[in-house]
Structures are given as C-alpha cells and as structure tokens.
Structure 1
Amino acid sequence: MIKINKGKEPLEWTAKCNTPNFTHYQPIPALRQALLVEQGYICAYCMRQIPVKDLSEKETSKIEHIKSRSDYPDLQLDYNNMLICCPGSIDGDSHCDKSKGHQSISFSLFVPQLQQSISYSSKDGTIKSSVPTIEDELNRLLNLNNRRLKANRLQVIEAIIAILDKKKWKKSECEQQLEVWKTKTVKQNEHEDKLGFKPYCGVVIYFLEKKLKQYA
C-alpha cells in the first residue's frame, strides 16, 4: 500500500451530487477517471495496475467505499470516502473490494501512519502490519495474502534485488531507484499517455527505504 494524496472531487461529481433528488450513489465516468488519475492507475489495496480485466469479472476497476454504503449511507456520495480498486478476483480467489464486500475498514490510506505500520517479507511476499487491527483487516477483509498476490510481490522484490546486485548495492543507486518507484511516470497505450505508478510500488519503496537506513 502507498499513501494516497486525496485531491478535490471532480466538478462533474459535485454537479451530480447537487442535482435535485440525487441521494443514492450512482457512479459517473468523470468520478472513476479522477480516482484513477489520483492513484496513478494502481489498486488502492493490492497495488495491481488498473484498469485490468480479471477473467471471471466484467469490470476493469471498482469504485470502493472505505466506509460501506450499507453501514454509512450518509457517506455514500462523499468523495473522501472513495478509492479505486482492481476487479478483485485472481484465479477465483477474491481480494480487495470484492473480498471486503459491504464491510468497512478502520484504517485510512490518506495518512503516513498506515505505511509506517506496514512491512513486506522478502522471503515470500507476505504483507504485515504492526497494528493488530490492521493486520486482521489485511487478511480477513481484504485477503491481501492470497497465493497470487504474495507471489507477485515477491517477484517485484526479487527483480529489484537483481538490479541492485548488478550495481553492487551502491547507496546512490538505491536512492535513484527509490525516486523512480516513488514517482508517477508516463505510460503509453493506444489511446493516451498517462501518469501512473509502477505496480506494487509500495513493496519496493518499503524494501529500499529499509535498505537505505543501513547506510545511515
């Protein structure tokens, strides 16, 4: 996970919410696009690149309410209660918003304290938190330690280790790589150029920041 810098809600969404009798959540394209740009086209929870099409899903992304609409109906139109997530189904195993369903998480992705509690294992890609309630929700609600997600995170860790091995683990190279993984870069496709984070960037950021502390 990475800290999400929440911006202002899109003007189109503000206008929609000010429409008379618009009291029940209905997404619009401008809302989805604003969330994608805000998060650099990665899932708020697992950090997979989005939009992505999972074989068992019809959607390429999901607008997620941190505090569920069923439990917090007064927040269903609140932009500050929304994230963008991947479809949430790999090999038939649900995770992220699809696993969370109508439940609510207690932690915020908008504050640095969350990242300070998060760690990743370089042995098997497991995500952990030093805060018991967050640790529980990472596993029970979001299922972020399913087999495929762990394998994907481990693959990214092994890739950055291979790069730094070639560079003899120089401090300057670690700093350079850290800047690359923290920065949105231009991604091109047949439709447009867009700024986005590298998938699973939070894993590499954690790994490199931990390594740089050893040079202090």
Structure 2
Amino acid sequence: MRKIDKNAEPKEWTAYRQTPGAVYQSKPELRSSLLKEQGYICAYCMRRIPAKDANSNETTRIDHILCREKHEDRKLDYRNMVICCPGAIDCKFHCDKSKGNNDVSFNLFDQSFIDTLSYSTKDGTIKCGIEQYDTEINEILNLNHSLLKNNRKSTLKGVIQQLQKKRHWKATQIRNLLNHWNTKDRDGKYKPYNGIVVWYLKKKLGQVPV
C-alpha cells in the first residue's frame, strides 16, 4: 500500500450527491477520478487495475473504507472511497472482494500509517507494526494471498537484480531509482506493487522509520 493523495471530488459527483434523495451509484466521473488519484493501481494490493475490456469480465470496484451498509452518513463521501482491482484469484477473494461489509480502521491517506508497514524480502509478505492493522490486512483484505506475495517478491527481485547488474548501490543511484518508483509516469500511472520497492529503497537509504 502507499499513501493516497485525495483530490477534490469531481464536480459531477458533487452535483449528484447534493441531489435530494441521492443514493450511491458508481458514476463514470467518480471512477475516473479515483483511478487518476491512485495512479491506476489498487488501493490495497497495488495490482494494476485492468482497463475495461470487452473480452474480459474483470472490472474495477469502488470500495467504501467505512462500508455504506453500516455508515449511512458516509455512503456519498468521496473521502471514504478508493478504487480497487477485481479482487479474485483462483476463486479466492482479496481486497474489496474479501472485505465485503467490513470496515478497516487504518488511514490510507496518512503517511504515518504507511510508515508502519514493512515487507519480507524473502517471500513478499506485507506486515504492519500495529496488531489491529496487521489483523485487518490479513483477515479482512487477505493481502498475503500466495499470488500477491509472489508478485511483490518478483517485483522487488527485478529491482535488486537491476542494481546488482549495474552495481548501482551508491546513494545517488538508489535515490534516483526511488524517485522513479515513487512517481507516476507520463500517463499518470504508478508501477504495480511499488510499495515493496519504495520501502526497500528507503530502507537502503536509512529512511524507514524505526
């Protein structure tokens, strides 16, 4: 996971939610705004959110961090919404699909939460130093599904091999690579699974909070 910088809600959503009797609907403008905000990666697992394809049944999913079934007053709140991947691997659910009507208590919009996360370089496990959050990561979001762990591990392995091949272990090269992985590309997209890479490079630079 990475900190999500929330923008102002789209004007079309503002107009809609102010309509008397408005109920939650996944408006195109809402979905587009969330995608751009997050750099087209899932708020939870950081998988690339697939583009809508006529040949695929995969779709994006808008998640209410505090679920709308339990929190009527937050169902139209833009700051309570993130966009997620389809959330299913081999019939096993993760992310929003696993979360269902549960809430998570951590704050994706706060860097101090992101700073509590760490990863295993051996198998790609994501961990949190706060027990409640760690439980939610595992039991509510299922972010340590074997395939997600493997994808994180493979992503990091590629970066390490790149550094070893070019022998770019000097602080300047590591900072440049960190900036590369921590920045959206010209199409406004983050690299998938960049959370583990950013954490690892910051650790190499001594920037990971102790």
What is the TM-score when the length of structure 2 is the normalising length? 0.93
- Where does the alignment leave 5 or more consecutive residues of structure 2 unmatched? none
Aligned length: 204
> How much has 1:170 moved relative to structure 2?
2.0
Q: Tell me the residue number matched to 1:139.
A: 138
The aligned counterpart of 1:185 is: 185
1:201 and 2:178 aligned: no
- Matches of 1:135 and 1:207, distance apart in 2: 19
- 1:189 maps to none
Structure 1 residue 114 displacement after superposition = 1.2
**1:20 positional shift:** 2.4
Report the Cα offset of residue 58 of structure 1: 3.4
Is 1:69 aligned to residue 62 of structure 2? no
SS at match of 2:45: coil
Q: How does 1:62-141 map to 2 (within 5 A)?
A: 62-141=61-140
CA RMSD of aligned residues (A): 1.5
SS of match in other structure, 1:41: coil
Cα 1:129–1:53 change in 2 (3 A) is: farther
CA distance in 2, matches of 1:85, 1:165: 33
1:191 maps to what in 2? none
> Which residue of structure 2 lines up, in the alignment, with residue 154 of structure 1?
153
- Tell me the CA shift for residue 213 of structure 1: 1.3
Amino acid at match of 1:32: R
For 2:25, the equivalent position in structure 1 comes to 26
1:52/1:86 contact within 8 Å kept: no
| Rounded Cα–Cα distance in structure 2 between residues aligned with 1:173 and 1:139 | 34
Question: Where does the alignment leave 5 or more consecutive residues of structure 1 unmatched?
Answer: 187-193
Residue type matched to 1:11 in 2? K
Q: TM-score w.r.t. structure 1 length?
A: 0.91
Distance 1:61 1:79 in 2: 16
- Which residue of structure 2 lines up, in the alignment, with residue 38 of structure 1? 37
1:212 corresponding residue in structure 2: 205
Q: Which runs of 4+ in 1 moved over 4 A?
A: none
Q: Is the 8 A contact 1:167 1:173 kept in 2?
A: no
Identity %: 50
In 2, are the aligned partners of 1:52 and 1:87 still within 8 Å (CA)?
no
